[in-house]
Amino acid sequence: MDMQNVRVRFAPSPTGPLHIGGVRTALYNYLFAKKHNGTFILRIEDTDQTRFVEKAEEYIQEALDWGGITPDESPWNPGEYGPYRQSERKPMYREYADSMIENGTAYYAFDTAEELTEVRERAKAAKMPNWQYNHITRNSMQNSLTLSEDLVKEKIEAGEAYVIRVKIPRNEEVRFEDEIRGWVTVNTSNLDDKVIFKSDGMPTYHLANIVDDHLMKITHVIRGEEWLPSAPLHILLYRYLGWESTMPKLAHLPLILRPDGNGKLSKRDGDRLGFPVFPLNWTDDNTGEESSGYRERGYFPESFNNMLAFLGWNPGTNEEIFKLQELIQAFTLNRVGKSGAKFDAQKALWFQQQYLRSTDNSELAEMVSPIATEMGYSVNANLPAICGMMKERATFLKDIIEEGSYLFGDISNYDEKTVKKKWKENTPSVLSELKIDFEAISEFTAENIETSFSAFLAKKEIGFGQIGPALRLAISGKGMGPSLFEICNILGKEETLKRINTALETIKK
C-alpha cells in the first residue's frame, strides 16, 4: 500500500455531544495518521441546518483536546484546504452537482414533499412499504427525465423548488475492497436515487462528503460501520465526478455494542448501567437533561484512550497498557475487528486503576492537591507519601482523598461495626501499654514502628488480631486500609499518640 502523504479526516456532524464511538473513530484516524507521518484533519459536516446544535462544535474541539488527539487541520487551525466547515464551503458544491447533470448521471426532481408523501402512502396501502425513488419509480415522477427540456427550463426560471438526484443504474455490480472487511459487492438495484443537492442550496451529506474528501486530498476514509451502506453510492459518485482513480481507501470500523452485545451502545444504556457514554459532561439546552462524561468522572485521558483503542482493535499480544505514543506505534487497520465490540465498564475502570497506580507519587500529589483543597482539606509535604500509599486502593484521584480522608484531616467518626467487633473490654489497657512503647521510638519510621509493634505482641503474648484492628480504628477510624505502620509514619509520632489518646477517651462500649 502506498503510504505517502497519508491524509485522514474525522468528519462529525455537530448535532449534539460526541458519543464515545465518535471519539474512537477520531482516535483511530489520529493513530493511523501519526503512524504514517500523515495529517489528521477535522471537518465539521454541518450541511443539515435543521439538526445543527450551537455548542456541539466547541464540545468536539474540547473533547479531542482533552484526549490529546488534536487535529493538524481544523476550523480553528486551518491548513491549505479550508474552509473546514461545510457550511462555509457552500459555494463550492454546486458546480459538481451541475457537472453530473451535464454528463447524465444526475437529474433535477421537482416533486414536492406532499407529492412524495402521497406516493409513499399509496405504495404502503398497496402493501409495498419500502417505496424508493429509483430506476423504476422515477419514470412516473416530476423530474428532468420525464418532463420536456422546455418545461424543466421554465420551472427552474420561475424559481420552482427542486432537488438534484443521482441517477443510479438499474443493474450494476459495485465492488470495493474495504480495508477491514475485505471485498464488498452490492447491486445497484438495491440503491435509490439519493438527493445530492437540496432545494435550500446546500449539498446533502453524500455529495459534500465526496467533494470534500477529494478536494482535501483524503487518502483513507476511516469511519463507523453505519456508513457502510452508503459506500456503494459514494463509489458511484467518485466515478460520476471522474475521480475514481484517486479515490480514498475505505475502512469501516465495527460498532461499539451494549455490554450484553445486544445492539449499539446508547446513552440510555449508560444511564441504566451507570457509566458515561460521552467524553465530557453535556447539558442539553432544550431539555436541561445532563449527561456525564469520562473527564468529569475522573478518568485520565490516557486511560480513556487506551480503553477506547481496545474497543475494536487489539495489538495481537497480551499486552494491554499502551500510552498514546505506543498506540501509534502498534496501530494497524488490519488488527481492527470486523464484529462489534462489547463495551465493558469494568474494563474501563481497570484501565483507569492501572494508570493511577503507575503514576509517580509526586505527580499524583500535584493533581490531588487542588481537589483536596477544594474539598476543604489542607495539604502538606506528606501528600506524595499519602498518594503512594493510597493509590493501590484507588481508581480515581478523588478516591485517594475519600478513602484516606483521615490522612488529610481529623477522624470524623469511628466505624461502628469495627468498634462493635474489635474494641474489646481489655482493648483500652492494651492500647495504653502500646502507646508507651510507641512513645519510646526515637525515629518514627514505618520500619521502627513495625519492629516495636512486633516486640509488643511477643512481650504480651498476643496475636495481631487482638490489638491491630483497634490500633487501626484509633488512628484512622476505619476497619480496613493500608499498612498500619505506614499510616502511623505519615501521621507522625505526635499525631499518632494524640489519636490513640482521643480514641481511648471517646470510644465507649
State how far the Cα of 448 lies from the Cα of 488, in Å rounded to an integer: 11
Q: How far is the CB of 46 from ligand GLU (least distance, A)?
A: 9
Give SS3 for 44: strand
Q: How far is the CB of 385 from ligand GLU (least distance, A)?
A: 48
State how far the Cα of 69 lies from the Cα of 9, in Å rounded to an integer: 12
Q: How far is the CB of 205 from ligand GLU (least distance, A)?
A: 6
Catalytic residue among 217, 249, 267, 498: 267
Element (H, E) at 78: none
Q: How far is the CB of 30 from ligand GLU (least distance, A)?
A: 14
The single residue listed with the C-alpha cell 396501502 is 125
* 63 vs 356, beta carbon nearer ligand GLU: 63
Nearby residues of 245 by Cβ (< 8 Å), 6 or more positions away? none
* 212 vs 269, beta carbon nearer ligand GLU: 212
Nearby residues of 32 by Cβ (< 8 Å), 6 or more positions away? 6, 8, 38, 220, 222, 331, 333
Give the dihedral sign, CA 434/440/444/448.
negative
State how far the Cα of 43 lies from the Cα of 10, in Å rounded to an integer: 6
* 209 vs 489, beta carbon nearer ligand GLU: 209
Q: How far is the CB of 213 from ligand GLU (least distance, A)?
A: 8
Contact 489, 445 (CB under 8 A): yes
DSSP notation for 212-254:
HHHHTT--EEEEEGGGGGGHHHHHHHHHHTT-GGGPPEEEEEP
Grid cell locating 45: 459536516
State how far the Cα of 99 lies from the Cα of 80, in Å rounded to an integer: 25
* 131 vs 227, beta carbon nearer ligand GLU: 227
* 277 vs 400, beta carbon nearer ligand GLU: 277
- 267 labelled catalytic: yes
Sites of contact with ligand GLU (CB under 6 A): 11-13, 45, 205, 209, 223, 227
Q: How far is the CB of 105 from ligand GLU (least distance, A)?
A: 20
* 227 vs 377, beta carbon nearer ligand GLU: 227
Query: Which positions are catalytic?
Result: 267
